[in-house]
Structure 1
Amino acid sequence: MIFAAGALLSQEELPALLDSLEERLNETRSGPPLDVDVVLDAVDSLGRTLDSGELDPLLAQYAPPSAREELREVRGMLRREALEARLQLELGDLRPGALVERPFGRTLVQPLGVLLHVTPGNQVGIPLFSALEGLLTGNLNLIKLPHGDRGLTLAALKLLTQREPRLAPWLYAFEVSSKDTGTLERLAALADGAVTWGGDEAVSALRRLAPPGCKLIEWGHRLSFAYVAGYEDREAEWSALARHIVRTGGLLCSSCQVIYLDTDRPEEAEAFCQAFLPLLNRAARERDRDGAAQAALYTHTYRLERLAEGAGDRTWFGEGCSLTLKPDRELELSPLYGNVLVKCLPRRELIPVLRRQKGRLQTAGLLCRPEEREELTALLARAGATRITRAGEMSRTFPGEAHDGEYSLRRYIRLADIET
């Protein structure tokens, strides 16, 4: 299906839409600019509808079982006051349409223009969230939906534009395969900016598709980790970390991929694994039926792979989860679904090791004694981490936080200097 300016179209109508799309976009750009208050009111209304439970049948029909909890975590970001605070923090006086007095004249703030969003399928709501950032900055939005979106974004866009028809001309969404380069090239040719949320392969593919002059805005895959250098309340903090590992399954940029221990003694790492496994096991038992079955199958496959490889690493297996102690220091992806890596990394080696992943680091979940938190936080920030949280809060979204170390809305505007 296709969403085009408020209407749902069949895939058979795609060629005709592509033929007329440039004219439609230019017509919208030639008219009045998008009023940010219209966006704020519409999103706030959608959030209140989510609170009321009115969207529960929609989520049950189109979204995975975890969607309700994931959306609840970002609910605060959809409140009008939170969005207004974000606009002020990220843009200040540089909101689209603003005129800023300068010594030579004035600077007119404009939307970038047309944004092509290429979004992943690893987190519910990302396509809509990406388009929301485009709307907040007054841009037209073309959304390439991820495989497995299951119609959720199309349904949400339809509901949003029914509630606020003035948003309809600013939104288009396409169920297009990543292999359909012909269609993607035509969409990219219309874009002033291409927004990608994928990994290296997705970023490279979009670079090949985007024409010269199209601004590439990368929100690529990131790596996150926990750093254990002590604790305030061991049981509580370790349990929170275990729940995070199981709940996110290693699928998010903020998911813990490696548990680093502030030691270079293997026997201490083995003792940690033995003590942490029961907590990870307990968290794994709290999964729903589908999640437990998927994790059990994945863990069984992982166990067979370990046996076949004959690797020298040591692995502790639980019920649909595991800990694998590896002798190297490198930050890498974990085996996912509650199967996580453990490595030694004394703090004196933290910067040289983590700097090998510069540009890819995101969240560091820090467990330490209270008197060491400030020192270790500064050390992790110098190493390149862009978010430093308590270990159990690694994937929690905080209102007003930056995106991978940047204020994203600033990347969706342009400045026109005017001599007077």
Structure 2
Amino acid sequence: MTEIVTETEAEAVSESESETETETATMTVSGTEGGPGAVAPAHRPGDRPAHHYWQGAFIGDEEAGRRLADLPAVVETALATVLETETVLAACDALATALRDPVHPVRVRLAAHLPEGEDPAVLGELGHLLGRRELTRKLRRELGSPTPGRLNRPDPRETVYEAWAPVGLVAHIAPGNAATVAPLSIVEGLLAGNVNILKTSSGDTLLCRDLMAELAAQDPTGALAARVIVLRFPSSRQEWLRLMCAPADAVAVWGGEGAVEGVRAHVPAGCRLVEWGHRISFAYLTGDAWSDAGTLDALAHDVCLHEQQACSSPQVVYLDTEDEGEVFAFAERFAAVLAARPPAVLPASTEGPNPAEEAELTTTELVARLEEHLGLTRVFAAPDGSWRVMADTRSPLTASPLSRSVWVKPLARRSLIATLRPMRRYLQTAGLAGSATDTAELSRTLLAAGATRVTPVGAMLDSYAGEPHDGVYALQRYSRRVAVQADPARFATTACLDDLAGPVVLPLPSGPLLGKEDVQERNRHVTRDDAELYFRSGGSTGAPALSIFSYDDYDTQMHAAARGLLAAGYDPVGDRTANLFYCGSMYGSFISFFSVLERLGGVQLPMSAGPDHRATARALIDLGADTLFGMPSYLWQLLHAEADALRAYGGLRKIFYGGEHFTREQQRTLKATFGIEVIRSITYGSTDLGPLGYQCTESSGGVHHLHADLHTMEILDLTEDRPVAPGETGRLVFTTHARRGQHLGRYVIGDLGRQVAGRCACGRHAPRFELRGRTGDVMRVATYFLNHGRFLDLAEDGGHRGELQIRLDAAETRERLTVRVERGGATDPQMLRETFLAGYPELRSAVTERLLDLVVEAVDGASLDRSPTSGKLLAVVDGRR
């Protein structure tokens, strides 16, 4: 996550450093002092300095030494629980928000520990890197998923589960001259789920220690604190270094070969050594490019930015030529460009190159000047020594002494690999300037020669989230790819093995409740980077609402819905599926389930719902469909309109429905009439939040499991904003944790439900809930609250098997409630009216008191009111307004 050239303490700190620190002070992290996320101060009156941070406490040397001896047991305890990726992301995002605010108490506290002369803006840059957007993108790019640690099926057609697992303990040996390298490395270790122990230089400030404490303070679960240890000691204290590395599963070290070798001696056999060593970068210019003034300006930018202190800074400029005269001429022109650049601006604490660096600069320039007499070189340098361009007729790569010192050399493209490959272990960035064709051809050649990055000249020091570093992904170096093969017969419907192992623990929701209007208002402020996909709701409960997604969020949700469909009994190997959801007008059902089937690898007939039932039935028969996806209203109409043909076909076996419910009587009819074997909810969700719940093979009716890796759920009282008692019906409130650029927390979705107690017979730990209708289905009529679901249950008890809709109208003297039922062979409106009155005391009282007229009428199913977008039956049509 960094490109800065770093110097480990093994090189920078002398062995004569004091080792007399014997403090024993211990202080725990405080979540309240100094504001949200505050940490206990490093010093208190009477305390000795506590330079170390150990799993939530600041401790001194004596205590650190004692704890180091027990490090293996500490690691085993921490690894016994799984670290949810969302826990890391939420804490990092909270800290990032604080770091980006110049006046936030957390940033003010940390700024006090910046090295002298360090620009406080570095904390804002760190905040950008720690934001949810950047870290999620990094997870996706490097590990393929925002939740890489979950054992999912990479191929849903096989019961093989794979995940990225932590290596265990990662020991980080941090550099002594780059303030952000160490904390970013620990964050990478946390994203991979590891326990992390970090060594910083004894000459460093307490920035990293306090930064990690602030991060841990953002996590109320304590899971992050349990996985972070920061020690500050000199490299001369070899015993501590040995104790750090002995139980490590990976050791990450920054620095040159000497520093790496100094650490390698302590790395046990089988431990992964992750080297972030010094690298050399260069620019390569074709003939068309080196004559362009803009190219020279861009090259000077790369040389002067950070004064060549970054691994990606160019030390050599290669020209695609064998003509020595062109090399000398270019060097003279480029020297003029460097001379026009403003002088270096160094931090107040830096006085320029130290004596050793000055000696290297002087020696390199002097040797090059001496070789001018042999016709090998030509030197162009500033009188004050602030820059130098050294033209050399010999092609082999030569390291620069830095500080705006650049070699210029000839290297014809046909000799690129032969010349550069011997240095392949040290190569990093190649800044390339040439035509589009040159860029394509030379990029391949430069990569073959050993470069790990190719960028345009002028952008050599630029980076992007998730970019590989020195040819590898850091998160993969801190992870293991693991697999579990399971019995296909027993695990056919288990999409994620972790669902059977334990519950997902996500941060608890907080903040105000949100309604549809609040979410619509927030949608207006979603930035272009996050607004990549637009859907509209079906409008069955009001005006269609707009929902906005990023493609990453959409992908996460479709994978979740796919896992839920497997749990419900969908077979991606054997099922032939007709997608009969409605399509068009930005409605998402058809598109979403097209995406779900694509991710499952299932056979799909993307037909969509249409008015020509005969043509649809013919296609189902001709193409051998055995599974139907769609809205209950539409599927009920289709099956009954083409009952003879579809019964004769006899091939339909499964129905997965969404948006509405099939009643128990309807399901019995479908199974008896058409031979359907499985009828289950395809998902429970909303256009705003995506998939919220899924059914398993043990679920029936409105019972669903929560997608607990995406959302948390609350059930609140109907009239007060408080939790209901266990098992009581209330308003369903969801907080989604998997959205980019939007905070959809505590969203009152408009549905009613109750929690289902106990663990499901399917073995999953995900919470269960039962849908109990919508808040709009509860009607205020004639001073009484009446529920559409109650009418539906009573109609079923009376033998009704079709659809049912309620219409409310205002008459001259009293209100009128009309129950419109789909006409069938045994439909008796009068008998149903008597059933409603007998079984619904509140309705009977309203009619008896002459506050309400009750009418029951039998109608054709096609005449019932439906949403024009989704085709969903409107449960209640209120004509009183």
TM-score, normalisation: structure 2: 0.44
Structure with higher RCO (Cα < 8 A, 6+ apart): 1
| Pair 1:88-2:140 in alignment | yes
AA in 1 matched with 2:210 = A
Encode CA deviations 1:358-391: one digit per residue, 9 max, x unaligned: 2322111112244532222222222221111122
Shift of 1:275: 1.3
Distance change (3 Å), C-alpha of 1:308 and 1:340: closer
Residue in structure 1 matched with residue 380 of structure 2 by the alignment: 316
Residue in structure 2 matched with residue 264 of structure 1 by the alignment: 322
Q: Which is further off, 97-106 or 110-119? A: 97-106
Residue 166 (structure 2) aligned to one of 111, 121, 125: 111
Encode CA deviations 1:181-239: one digit per residue, 9 max, x unaligned: 22111111121111123222233233221111222222322211111223299333322
Q: Distance between the aligned counterparts of 1:314 and 1:297, measured in 2?
A: 25
- The alignment yields a C-alpha RMSD, in angstroms, of 2.9
Q: Which is further off, 69-78 or 385-394? A: 69-78
Encode CA deviations 1:248-304: one digit per residue, 9 max, x unaligned: 223222121111122222222222222112322333425247499515988864564
Residue in structure 1 matched with residue 490 of structure 2 by the alignment: none
Distance change (3 Å), C-alpha of 1:203 and 1:134: same
Distance change (3 Å), C-alpha of 1:147 and 1:363: farther
Shift of 1:107: 4.3
| Aligned-partner SS, 1:283 | coil
AA in 2 matched with 1:268 = E
Encode CA deviations 1:304-347: one digit per residue, 9 max, x unaligned: 43576563143222251111223322223211111222222122
Gaps of 5+ in 1: none
Distance change (3 Å), C-alpha of 1:228 and 1:23: same
Q: Distance between the aligned counterparts of 1:72 and 1:344, measured in 2?
A: 41
Query: What are the equivalent positions in structure 2 for 1:11-50 lying under 5 Å apart?
Result: 11-30=61-80, 32-50=81-99
| Pair 1:205-2:262 in alignment | yes
Q: Which is further off, 254-263 or 410-419? A: 410-419
Shift of 1:106: 4.0
Q: Distance between the aligned counterparts of 2:187 and 2:379, measured in 1?
A: 43
**Residue 290 of structure 2 contacts residue 330 of structure 2 at CA under 8 Å; is this kept in 1?**
no
Query: What are the equivalent positions in structure 2 for 1:241-260 lying under 5 Å apart?
Result: 241-260=299-318
**Residue 122 of structure 1 contacts residue 251 of structure 1 at CA under 8 Å; is this kept in 2?**
no
| Aligned-partner SS, 1:62 | coil
**Residue 123 of structure 1 contacts residue 252 of structure 1 at CA under 8 Å; is this kept in 2?**
no
Residue in structure 1 matched with residue 232 of structure 2 by the alignment: 175
Aligned residues: 419
Distance change (3 Å), C-alpha of 1:364 and 1:60: farther
**Residue 284 of structure 1 contacts residue 321 of structure 1 at CA under 8 Å; is this kept in 2?**
no
Residue in structure 1 matched with residue 413 of structure 2 by the alignment: 347
Q: Distance between the aligned counterparts of 1:2 and 1:172, measured in 2?
A: 8
Gaps of 5+ in 2: 1-50, 372-376, 487-881
| Pair 1:381-2:444 in alignment | no
AA in 1 matched with 2:58 = L
Q: Distance between the aligned counterparts of 2:396 and 2:176, measured in 1?
A: 27
Q: Distance between the aligned counterparts of 1:337 and 1:396, measured in 2?
A: 19
Residue 393 (structure 1) aligned to one of 459, 470, 485: 459
AA in 1 matched with 2:82 = P
AA in 2 matched with 1:222 = R
**Residue 362 of structure 1 contacts residue 387 of structure 1 at CA under 8 Å; is this kept in 2?**
yes
AA in 2 matched with 1:351 = I
Shift of 1:353: 0.9
Residue in structure 2 matched with residue 151 of structure 1 by the alignment: 206
Residue in structure 1 matched with residue 713 of structure 2 by the alignment: none
Encode CA deviations 1:5-48: one digit per residue, 9 max, x unaligned: 12222334332221233332222222x31121111122222222
| Pair 1:337-2:394 in alignment | no
AA in 2 matched with 1:305 = T
AA in 2 matched with 1:375 = E
Q: Which is further off, 361-370 or 307-316? A: 307-316
Residue in structure 2 matched with residue 218 of structure 1 by the alignment: 275
Q: Distance between the aligned counterparts of 2:319 and 2:299, measured in 1?
A: 14
AA in 2 matched with 1:329 = S
Q: Distance between the aligned counterparts of 1:85 and 1:150, measured in 2?
A: 31
Distance change (3 Å), C-alpha of 1:298 and 1:289: farther
| Aligned-partner SS, 2:454 | strand
**Residue 165 of structure 2 contacts residue 479 of structure 2 at CA under 8 Å; is this kept in 1?**
yes
Q: Percent identity?
A: 31
Q: Which is further off, 134-143 or 222-231? A: 222-231
TM-score, normalisation: structure 1: 0.89
Distance change (3 Å), C-alpha of 1:265 and 1:147: farther
Residue 278 (structure 1) aligned to one of 312, 336, 347: 336
AA in 2 matched with 1:196 = V
